[in-house]
Amino acid sequence: MNRSFQSKLTPYLYLSPAILLIILVFVYPVIDLFRRSLTRVANGVTTWTGLVAYQNALQDPIFWTSFTNNLRLFISVPILVLLSLVFSSLIFERIRGWRFYRSLVFIPYVLAIPVVGIVFSYILQANGVFNLILRSVGLEALRREWLGSSATAIWAIMFVVIWKELGFGIVLFLARMSSISEELFDAAKLDGAGWWQQMIYVTIPQMTTVIEFYIIVNMITMLSWVFAYVLVMTKGGPGNSTWVLEYFIYQKAFPYSQMQIASAAAVLLLIFAMILMFLQARLRRQVEGVEI
């Protein structure tokens, strides 16, 4: 066999299992989903339906409830950024016990969402620990069934998502902070800058790219990775008040067997995710340009 031909083929040989698996798990499903959303199969006959399924999805008020809930969850993004910034800079100061804090804050990351969800659903019950604590600090008036009332359920879920996601932000920001030149902080201190001033004038400007990156990662999480929280903590309830897009697609596809509407909704979710992905790819290129 021709040696140069062989060596030209080698890279593709190494890549072929990966490419095959990616086609099976990513490429084929996306193409099939588009096809499925535009056609209806009845009695073995496939008919082209155009955008009817999209219309059905978009006219369904629950679709909009679900989408709105995803948008509500986006509110956790600035909260996560702020908390990550504050706590990572506290740990960064090598405060006594910083190593301990660093490994501790990361624990929620390795826990299963279903486990976390069940534990919190007992903590947030009407006669649960959270209300007990509220009563003991004299805030009895705030007592309620946090996951059981449609006014608070999605926010209670958001609280749990923040609890689970915060550790990653702290550790990520901490890593970036460690590479900021010491001289910048020393210069700021010489100029008499306090803790907040150092934060605003030194830390944050040095970290813009990683902060932007973290924002996009979290937006993707709030759009595409919240299914398990909803299923375990509220099953979408009370009423439909905590449905999110993933839950809408799951419900339409499996319990309701409305595969076509589910496929159309899935395509719409994919489009939202792609917009975020595009933003992320642009930021990633910027992040790569900077030494982190």
83-142 residues in contact with other proteins (CB under 8 A) are 86-87, 90-91, 93, 95-97, 101-120, 122-123, 128-129, 132
Q: What distance in Å separates the CA atoms of residue 273 and residue 284, rounded to the nearest whole number?
A: 16
Sequence-distant (6+) residues with CB within 8 A of 85 are 173, 199, 203, 204, 207, 211
CB nearer to other proteins: pick between 153 and 167: 167
CB nearer to other proteins: pick between 118 and 151: 118
| Residues 209-268 interacting with other proteins (rule: CB under 8 A) | 210, 213, 217, 220, 223-225, 227-228, 231-232, 246, 249-250, 253-254, 259, 262-263, 266-267
| Residues 29-88 interacting with other proteins (rule: CB under 8 A) | 29-30, 32-33, 36, 86-87
User: Does residue 201 sit in helix, strand or coil?
Assistant: helix
Choice from 77, 80, 172, 215 touching other proteins (CB under 8 A): 172
CB nearer to other proteins: pick between 25 and 42: 25
CB nearer to other proteins: pick between 41 and 151: 41
Q: What distance in Å separates the CA atoms of residue 53 and residue 34, rounded to the nearest whole number?
A: 11
Please give the DSSP secondary-structure letter assigned to residue 41. E
CB nearer to other proteins: pick between 97 and 151: 97
Based on the shown chain and the rule CB under 8 A, indicate whether residue 177 belongs to the binding site for other proteins: no
**Cα dist. 53→37, 59, 175, 263 in Å?**
6, 10, 46, 8
Q: Which helix (H) or strand (E) holds 39?
A: strand 39-42
